[in-house]
Amino acid sequence: MTNSRVIDIEKANAELENQPAEKIIAWAAEQFGPGLIMTSSFGAQAALMLHLATRVVPDIAVVFIDTGYLFPETYQFAEELTQRLKLNLKVYSPAVTAARQEAMYGRMWEQGAEGMDRYHQLNKIEPMDRALRELKATAWVAALRREQTDHRAGLRTVEVQDGFYKVHPVLGWSTKQVHEYLKKHELPYHPLYEKGYKSIGDVHSTRPITAGMSERDGRFGGLKQECGLHVPKSREENQSREGSAL
């Protein structure tokens, strides 16, 4: 375990099942201390978790992975929320610039699943690994919801991924609940949300969706649902999770 603190995962999940998101975040803050971080892609509904988390832990480090290929609206949205919520924002970018990547490997997102895996490793996974190390993270809060992807449907409130604890306060929330929370607190959606972009990532791998499609259908050209940040890198850990029907 990367974090020296050992948590009884089964007990934690039993205690936190069906608890309010704020209580789950407060539990995480008590258990993991100042090393508790969160991530945000500043996507469609990013204001939800940013507002929830900072109400409980105002100075929590918010890791923003800037691939260099985000929509202009995403950068503007990130700045708006950073100012409004007084975020302790930590921006991490790839070690290899976008220009150099394209010179060396071409447009990886057009090279099928293998090219996309390389793209995600360089632009998302490596910067996130670096953030976890440099921030001395003890645990990671993420706004994953079960209804978003098949992988997320099998998650629990508290998990372990690649040696780090991960906490999912809104795992059981529906899109309707998210909308009601944003409306209640007068929080904005991403500017592209009303144009049909329900899940928003890089410019080249994000498309608007139409009626009958799920939120993630507009991502990655339909080749995959996850970018790799929220999936165990270890084949054994991934198989173990799938085999236990978690």
Confidence class of residue 232 from pLDDT cuts 50, 70 and 90? low
Per-residue pLDDT at 163: 84
Parse the chain into domains and list their residue ranges. 9-243
Span 181-211, pLDDT tens digits = 999 999 999 999 999 888 899 999 888 865 5
> pLDDT: is 1 or 93 the higher one?
93
Given 29, 227, 229, 231, the catalytic residue: 227
- Across all residues in the chain, what is the average pLDDT? 86
The 10 Å CB-count burial string (b at 16+, else e) for 39-74 is bbbbbbbbbbbbbbbbebbeebbbbbbbbebbbebb
Per-residue pLDDT at 218: 53
What is the number of other CB atoms lying within 10 angstroms of the CB of residue 32? Answer: 20
Q: Which CATH superfamily hosts domain 9-243? A: HUPs (3.40.50.620)
Span 40-58, pLDDT tens digits = 999 999 999 999 999 999 9
Residue 63: is its pLDDT beyond 90?
Answer: yes
Active site residue 237: no
Per-residue pLDDT at 189: 96
Closest among 146, 152, 129, 150 to 39, alpha carbons compared = 129
Highest mean pLDDT among 137-141, 143-147, 241-245: 137-141
Span 1-30, pLDDT tens digits = 444 578 999 999 999 988 999 999 999 999
- Out of 20-24, 99-103, 115-119, 145-149, pick the least confident: 145-149
Confidence class of residue 62 from pLDDT cuts 50, 70 and 90? very high
Confidence class of residue 152 from pLDDT cuts 50, 70 and 90? confident
* Segment 207-233 mean pLDDT: 56
